Structures are given as C-alpha cells and as structure tokens.
Chains A and B, each alone.
Chain A
Amino acid sequence: MDPIGDRAGRRDRRLAAFDRISGPTWTAVYRQFSGPDLESWTDQFDRLCATSGPTMATAYVHASLTCARHVSPAAALMLGTRALFLCQPDSSDLARLLLVQSTKAVPKLEMPGDFTEWLGAVDALVSADASLLRPVLDRMEGLLSTVDAKGFAAWVSAGLVSTRGRTAYFQLSIPHARRVLDQEAGQGGLDAASGAIKAFATALWRVEPALRPVAAPADLHTPRRPAFDGAVFWLPDSFGGFSADEERLLYFAAVAHMGAHLTFSGTRFAVGSLRPLQVALVSLIEDARVETLAARRYPGLARLWRRFHDARPEGPNIADGLMARLARALIDPDFDDPSPWVQKGVDLFQERQGNLEDPSLSREIGGMLGNDLGQMRVQFNPKTYVVQPPYRDDGNGLWDFGDPPTDAAAPQEEILLSVRLTQKEETGGKDRNDTAPEEGEETAPVRPVEPDPDTGIPVARYPEWDRRAERLRPDWTTVLEYGFRPASAGVIDAILARYRDTRARVAALVDRARVSRPVRQRRQPEGDRLDIDACIRAVIDRRAGAEPDRRVYEVTARLHRDLSVLLLLDISESTKDTIAGTMESVFSIERAAAALLADAMSAIGDPFALRAFCSDGREDVRIYRVKDFDMPFAAVSRARLAALKPGLSTRLGAALRYAGAEIAARPTHRRLILLVTDGEPSDVDAPDPHYLVEDARKAVQEIARLGVDVFCVGLTGAGESQLNRIFGRRNILHIDRVAALPDVLPKLYFRLTT
C-alpha cells in the first residue's frame, strides 16, 4: 500500500469529519479517542454519514462520547460496529435507536464486564431476529433500572429459548416475561422465601396461606405492596432496593403482619361514605393495633417490623410523609416526632392501650386524624399514595367496598399457579373462609374427573436448565395430564399371547426373584439358634486342641424386594417409524415390551407405575398415566396402554422431573425410573439441539440427588452420544435390534433389580 497516500487519506477524512461537527465536539472526540481508535472512529463516522443523514451523525457522536466516557473508547467503537451493521440504506431507524438508547444504558454499565454482557445480549437479539431489538431498546432504561447487565442478558436469553411468542415477551406484554425479569432482579426473592414464610405463618398464626405473586403494574416503577383476601396472600415477586437478606426478612415481616390481621382484625370495615384519606388512616391505625396485639404475644415481631420503619421526624407536612411518621411513632416507643398531629395520634392510641381488642377504635381514631389532616389543608393523592413501610399490605383486605371483586376472568396463568401451590400442600386449607380466587384449588389434589384426552389438566410446573445463561429457569415447563380415548384391553392381551415364548422365559426369571423367601444363613457370629453342625465342629476342634470357630449360630433372614419402579415411555412422533425389515413401528414394539415387563412386575409383586410422555412446546408437556402404583395391571391399565398413540416431540427433562417427583414419594428402599426412548430430546420451541440435552442431564442429576436411580434404554442407536451425555454410559443400554426389546427389557429389569 502507499503509506503516504494512506496518511493523506486519513487526514482528509478527519478534515471531512471536522467540517461536519462543531469545534468543541471535535475536541471532545479528539480527547477520548487517540491513535488507531481515532482512526476507527473517523471511519465509522464516515460510513454512518454516508448511509444515512446528519441525524445519524449526531446520534453517533453523542453515543460514542457517552460510551467512551462511561465505559471505554474500545466499547464505543464496538457499539459503532453494531450500529453500522444495523444501518441499512433504506432503514436506519434501528441503528439510530440503538445509539440513542445506548446513551441511557451505558451509565449503568460501568462495572467491568457489564458492557460486554449487555452487548452480547443485543447481539443475540439481532442474530435471532433483528425486529425483536426494537421493543427491547424502547424499554432499555426501565429494564436496566430493574436488573443489572447479567440479569438483562439472562432475561434476553430466556426470551430467545423459545421460538413462540417472542415479540410479546420482549414487549413485556405477557406476565411470564415480567416474572422472569423479577426473578432476575430479586434473585427470585418470593420463590426463594415462599416455603419458609408459609411455614412461618402456619407456626405463628395457624393459617396456611396460599401465596400468589402480586400482578405486575403497568410500568416498571410503581412499588408493589402485599395484599390479602382471607388466607390468600399476594406478595411482590421481589422488593426492589433491598439486599437479599433484607428482602427475605421483609417477606417474613409481611406474612407476620397479614397473619396478625387475620387473627385480630375481625370483620371488614364498611367503606360507606369515608373519603380515601380516612380509609388510608383507619387502615394505618388498624395496622398499628394488630401489630401491638401481635407483639404482646410475640415480642420479637416488634423488632422485626420496626427495622423497616425508616421515617424521620422531619420533612414537609405532606400526607404521605406524615403518615409514614405516624406509622413509625405508633409502634416505636423510642421515636419522637415534633408534629402535633403525629403526637395526637400517638396519644389517642395510648389512651386505648387497655382496650386494643376492639377494632372499632381504629375507625374512630383514624376518622378523627383524617379530619385534622383535612383542616391542616394537607394534600393527599389517593392515586399515588403507597402504604409505608413496604412490608405492610395495601389495606384492601380490611375493607368491604360494597360489591365483591370480580375474579371471574382470572387468566390461565393464575389457575396454573394455584395448582402448583396446592400440589405442595399436604392438606387442604381448613382455615379458609374464602370465596373467589379459590376455584383453581379444587382441581389438582382430588381430580374428581378423568383428564380430558384433548386438553389435559395442568398438574405441575418444573424448572428448566438454560445452558447458555447457566441457570435454572423456574416454572419454565408445564406438565399436563391427558386422559385416554376408549380402547380395548384385548389389544394388550393379544400382544401378550403373541409373545408367549418370551413370556415363559420371563416367568422363569420371576420365579427366581420371588419375594420374601426365607433364607437360612449358617455359621453366623450371632443369631437366634445354634447351628448344630458348626457347634459339633467347634467342640471337636476344641477337644483336638485347635482354635474353634466361634461362628456357631444360624439366622433366618428374609430377602425383601423393597423397590418401586416407574416405567416411562417416550411416545413422540419418531416412534412411528417402522423398523427396517419388519412391518412394525418402534412404538408398537415399545408397547409390547412395556406390556411384557408390566406383566412380569405384577407377577413378582413389585409396585410399579407406567407413564408415557410427549410434548408440544414447554407449556404442554403431556403425561399419560397408564398405570399408577396402587393399580393392578388389569383391564383399565391395559385399555389405557392400548389407547396410546404416538405423536409430537420429546421434552425429556420435564418428563423426567415429573417422574422423579412422583417416585421420590414412594416409601421403598430403592426407586428406579426406567426410561425407554428412541433418541435424543427435541421440541418445537427449542431450536438449540444441545439445550434440551443439557436440561435432561441436569434433571437426571437432580433426580439422583433425590435417591432415585434412572436407567435409559435407547432404541435404534440414534443420538447415542447425546443419550450417553444425559444418563452417563453406565446407566444406558443401546439396543440396535429394536425387535429384540420385548425380550431384552424384562431381562434388563431383573439384572437391575437383583
């Protein structure tokens, strides 16, 4: 190349740039970028100006300077390359939006690594579908004030995992997107605490609350408050602005407070003609009343609550501030407030110390204080008022507003959630005196009706491992139980008849493994009886002067087969394939093998369950309960096995988690999940081939920690290495000749269990 010409060209380009922007700006650029960086900057500036107009130039200058200042010049140039990439001759909107919004983002990306993380997420969005970038950029500021760069990247990758409903996700217009964001923001605050706070409420107040996350507000900024309606407690997914430990305590404080209401508040106040200010004040006094009563019973609660009262005895006479101060003054005897209004509230409250059990005093004192505040001409805006401190509920649970709230249009989400909650509960809520939102509760535990063969009944939600973000996505998959179309048990009987030879061979195995056979163990060091032969030998030895063997006892031991088995069949679309050289499909062989094994297991008396699964996206993982542990393998389960039809995909991880949770509850010494599958996991909404493999691997590890063994039988040799990765080489058997499965499966079973 010609160095002189190159240098001249460089100068020209700089001059050209210099001409287009003002002097002071150029100086700023010159200070931030030097040497090769300045070179690249000028180059990017040129090309952006060439493809689009002066607005782009301004945006670029501004964005690159902000970025260089907050992060580094190198980062600014990386941002520039993204803008250039997005800058199409006919549409440069997106590029400009990226530059403009980045100026709001970079001040929050100053920590090392943050910018790279953020840019990586932007890249991921662009490479998936550039149109997804726009809604994210529009919300960039709000997003980054909710989560940090890592959380943002994780939220983006969670949205990209699935190919369905992406646009709505990134527009934050589905609750799920908001929930993931909250989880990233608060390290899953509510999820992490829910088990403990529920038990806490039960211990202190003998209520068993149903916990629900508070519905997301329209914007990202309004603080959310707990609420209750009888024993249904709504709590925010996270309390922003608190450390993880503080947040955890806030949840405890919140349930202790709502529990105190349930215990001491009695019937609801009628709103009648009360003004909003009075309603808020009556609620405030009522809060203090129940907290005082609760603290008499549990003195430590006062300490727990007081730590969140941070009102200071100063500030302007605005209603919100005064009320926060009053709230603190009423439960904190060390808090001294100069305001006569606050003092009056405290005095009125103190006068009634002997008679706090009477809820009407809240009504009375609250009303009086409301009038005073009105006469003081203090402004109160019910639309912006938020109860303080954050652990206190919004007060609506205390009031009767006349007509009941309409929960008829409870979205599917809500119902699913209540299903999940009741599944964890051991007994139904006996303390519930409640009506509306409980409808979903009835369905899960008792299952009065057979699940529908077409829609299914949601029974559980399971997390899923996101290998890119390297974290478990809570409640990511929904498992639904589907019913069966009528079919004839005769089909299975016919199959069993056809494999008569195999059945005879299996029967021999069954005999050998028969349960509770007493076995006499001789020559034991301890035991119930003397072993005569051993005794005689010992006496002979002694008389002969030799050292006698002291093991002269015998015991009768029983060999127990103490195990439960769950046979899990993959019935995805690929099992429809016919096996080379035969007329039969993989599915029909699988079913025959399952029938033979089930036959053997019921002959031997091992409790076993039979489940089949397939999936259609993460919200529809289908489980077919062919046979339960306590059911005989007779007409009903045979008819169900006959009714199975192959189809759809293989979301293995969710099915394994379901099976794991079910068998982990079995009270036997050994628990085994036996999976029969014809290949690696896949699903319609998971384009990344490794994603479901890694998730399934994670699921197997989780199940192993529950003390459950998982063994996989892989058919047709497809996806061999993937299955090895999921289950580990020792826990898998590959069968190339699928037709041999009915013979192999029972043999394998006995090898595994004896």
Chain B
Amino acid sequence: MSLDAYLIDGTPYYRPVANEVDLFAAAYDARMPVMLKGPTGCGKTRFVEHMAARLKKPLITVACHEDMTASDLVGRFLLDADGTVWHDGPLTLAVRHGGICYLDEIVEARQDTTVVIHPLTDERRLLPLEKKNELVPAHPDFQLVISYNPGYQSVVKDLKESTKQRFAALDFTYPDPDAEAEIVARESGVDTALADTLVAIAGRSRNLKGHGLSEGASTRTLIQAGRLAGRGVPLAEACRATMILPITDDPDLRGALTETVAACIG
C-alpha cells in the first residue's frame, strides 16, 4: 500500500523564526522523534506540513482527544462477512509504509494511550500490535512528531516523564512583530500597515496572559482578523469577532480588549 494520498501538494508557506527548519531536517535525518512546543496558533502544524513537503514524505496527522484509546492509534479487529479482519490505525499505517506521523495536542490523549509510542521512539523502532500478535518494524522513512501546548497543561494533563524524554523539542513562540506582520500580510492579503496594527493589538492582548487570559491572541487569530477586514468588515469588528470573543467570555476582559483594540487603531 502506498501513502501517496498523504503527500502534501506544493510547499505550504512557512516563515522561519529561528533555525527550526535546519534542526528539524537534522532530526529527520537521524529519524529522531520531535516534539513541537508552543502556544496555540503560532504555526506548529503549518511547520510540520512545510517540512513534510520539503522532505517529500507523506504526513499522517492525528488530532488527539481525551476519549482516544490505543486502538484508535494502532488499529483493531473489525467484523466482516467472513469473520474478523484487522484494520491498521493511522500510527501503524505510517510505521508500516514510511511516513511522518504527527500526533497533534498529544496531552489531550490519556496517558495509558500515549505509552504505545514508547517502543517506536527508542532504539527498537518497532510497534507491537498486541492483539494481532505482531511486531511491526518501522519503515526507514518513518518519523514521529508530536505537538504539545504547555499553556493548558495541568496536573491531570501532562506527559509522563518517560514519554517526554524520548523527544527532541523545538520551542515555538509568536514571531517578533515585523516577522509576524509579514506572515499576517502574506496569509491574509492585507497591507503591511494593517498587519502592523493587528500585530500591535495581539501584543497587547498577550500582555494579559496570566492576568485573566490563559493565552493571548495567536498569529492564527490575526490572520483571521485580516481575512475578515480584507472582505470589507470594519477593522474593530473584525478584531472583536476573531481576537476577543473567541478567547474570553469574561465581560471585564472583553471590555478591556475592546478598548485596547480602539486604542491601537489610528
């Protein structure tokens, strides 16, 4: 079976912030598992897509959730007309046929689920399928990438120490203002001046992190604001719809952010 359907068309836009592209390429070369850390909407997923396209490898993405069990990753028996058939899960698919498996927001999954990746992420590089009684050695092209947002990390939802230490980590933050404005302008099609204003607003909103907001407005929300503004929505309303209402329900913070947006718009 070929994973061609998982190859990425073209090379998605990604603007490097530091040396993350080289680091990732080196890690892939060593087939070392990589952990992407950073706040939501700062470009982690885009980065993985970009790297998969650059390396010309298929990318299998799994969005993790709290009901996810090990079977959802490795596969399970299904019943058909003639009896039982085994069906590979997304992780097994990538392991067998060679691809980058990206587990998005891994902390959302239960801890007993995440331990299935342990044999894959050390020297053994193999995946035991316990129910099928099979050991799947990893394809030479296989690599595991996980993303991990320390922002909403709580005691209940954290990676096991034994899981964490298997990965090389890349730390993502929001780009510096000029770079961020460049990204916002490129992705949403607004002019540089408007992008600068949006970035200024986001900077103020990030000042409130830990002062009522668990996370400030991300680059993603800026691009969305820019997209709305580019379609004729007044800037203040576009900001409200994408950068205020989604991130807080607290009337005080909404009031403060609304005035902050007004203060930043000339």
Contacts and interface: CB of A to CB of B under 8 A. Distances in A.
A300 B265 contact: yes
A300 B211 contact: no
A304 B263 contact: yes
Nearest to B252: A195
A300 B262 contact: yes
A298 B81 CA distance: 69
Contacts of B207: 202-204, 206
Contacts of B261: 300
B154 interface: yes
B262 A203 contact: no
Most buried by A among B200, B256, B259: B259
Contacts, number: 91
Contacts of A301: 263
A530 B225 CA distance: 48
A528 B74 CA distance: 10
Contacts of A168: none
A373 to B, nearest CB: 33
A470 interface: no
B264 interface: yes
Interface in A235-262: 248, 252, 256
A203 B154 CA distance: 25
Interface residues of B, number: 36
Contacts of A196: 251-256, 259
Contacts of A256: 263
A204 B257 CA distance: 10
A535 B262 contact: no
A530 B263 contact: no
Interface in B196-221: 200, 204-205, 207-208, 210-212
Interface string A199-210: 110111010100
Contacts of A199: 208, 211-212, 252-253, 256-257
A538 B79 contact: yes
Nearest to A534: B79
A527 B79 CA distance: 12
Interface of B: 69-71, 76-77, 79, 81, 83-84, 131, 154, 156, 200, 204-205, 207-208, 210-212, 250-257, 259-266
A304 B253 contact: no
B227 to A, nearest CB: 22
User: Size band of the A side of the interface?
Assistant: 20 to 34
B263 A528 contact: no
Given A200-B259, A203-B257, A530-B79, A300 B212 contact: no
A552 interface: yes
A298 B259 CA distance: 11
Interface string A9-30: 0000000000000000000000
A195 B252 CA distance: 5
Interface string A276-320: 000000000000000000000011110110000000000000000
B265 A203 contact: no
A539 interface: yes
A654 interface: no
11 contacts: A195-B256, A199-B257, A200-B255, A299-B263, A303-B262, A528-B69, A530-B79, A535-B79, A542-B81, A552-B79, A667-B156
Given A299-B265, A299-B266, A300-B266, A530 B212 contact: no
A256 B255 CA distance: 14
A426 B210 CA distance: 7
Given A202-B211, A203-B207, A206-B207, A529 B263 contact: no
Given A202-B208, A530-B77, A252 B131 contact: no
A667 B155 CA distance: 10
A206 B211 CA distance: 10
Contacts of B208: 199, 202-203
B174 to A, nearest CB: 15
A12 to B, nearest CB: 68
Contact of A203 (B131, B204, B250): B204
Contacts of A304: 259, 262-263
A557 to B, nearest CB: 10
Contacts of A248: 255
A222 interface: no
Contacts of B69: 528, 555
A375 interface: no
A268 B265 CA distance: 31
A412 interface: no
A419 to B, nearest CB: 19
A200 B263 CA distance: 10
A197 interface: yes
A427 interface: yes
Given A528-B69, A528-B76, A667 B154 contact: yes
Given A199-B256, A298-B264, 17 more contacts: A195-B251, A196-B253, A199-B212, A199-B257, A200-B259, A202-B208, A203-B260, A206-B207, A256-B263, A304-B263, A427-B210, A427-B211, A528-B70, A529-B76, A535-B84, A539-B83, A555-B69
Among A252, A300, A535, A538, chain B packs the most CB atoms within 10 A around the CB of A300
A529 B256 contact: no
Contacts of B263: 204, 256, 298-301, 304
Interface in A195-238: 195-200, 202-204, 206, 208
Nearest to B208: A203
Contacts of B131: 529
A667 B157 CA distance: 12
A248 B70 CA distance: 53
A538 B264 CA distance: 66
A200 B69 CA distance: 43
A550 to B, nearest CB: 8
Most buried by B among A200, A252, A304: A200
B146 to A, nearest CB: 22
A200 B253 CA distance: 8
A200 B84 contact: no
A77 B69 CA distance: 81
B256 A203 contact: yes
A303 to B, nearest CB: 7
Interface in A176-209: 193, 195-200, 202-204, 206, 208
Contacts of B77: 529-530
A645 to B, nearest CB: 37
Contacts of A206: 207
Nearest to B79: A552
Contacts of B211: 199, 202, 208, 426-427
Nearest to A301: B263
Contacts of A300: 261-266
Interface string A398-440: 0000000000000000000000000000110000000000000
Nearest to B204: A203
Nearest to B260: A203
Contacts of B79: 530, 535, 538, 552
Q: Lowest 4 CB-CB distances: which A-B pairs, in order?
A: A195-B252, A299-B266, A199-B256, A196-B255
B256 A197 contact: yes
Contacts of B253: 195-196, 199
A193 B70 CA distance: 49
A300 B259 CA distance: 9
A474 to B, nearest CB: 15
A298 B71 CA distance: 53
Interface in A663-692: 667
A552 B85 CA distance: 13
A9 B263 CA distance: 76
Contacts of B84: 530, 535
Nearest to B255: A196
B71 A200 contact: no
B238 to A, nearest CB: 15
In this complex, the member of A196, A252, A538 whose beta carbon has the largest number of chain B beta carbons within 10 angstroms is A196
A538 B252 CA distance: 58
Nearest to B71: A528
Among A195, A196, A199, A528: residue with most chain B CB under 10 A = A199
A256 B263 CA distance: 9
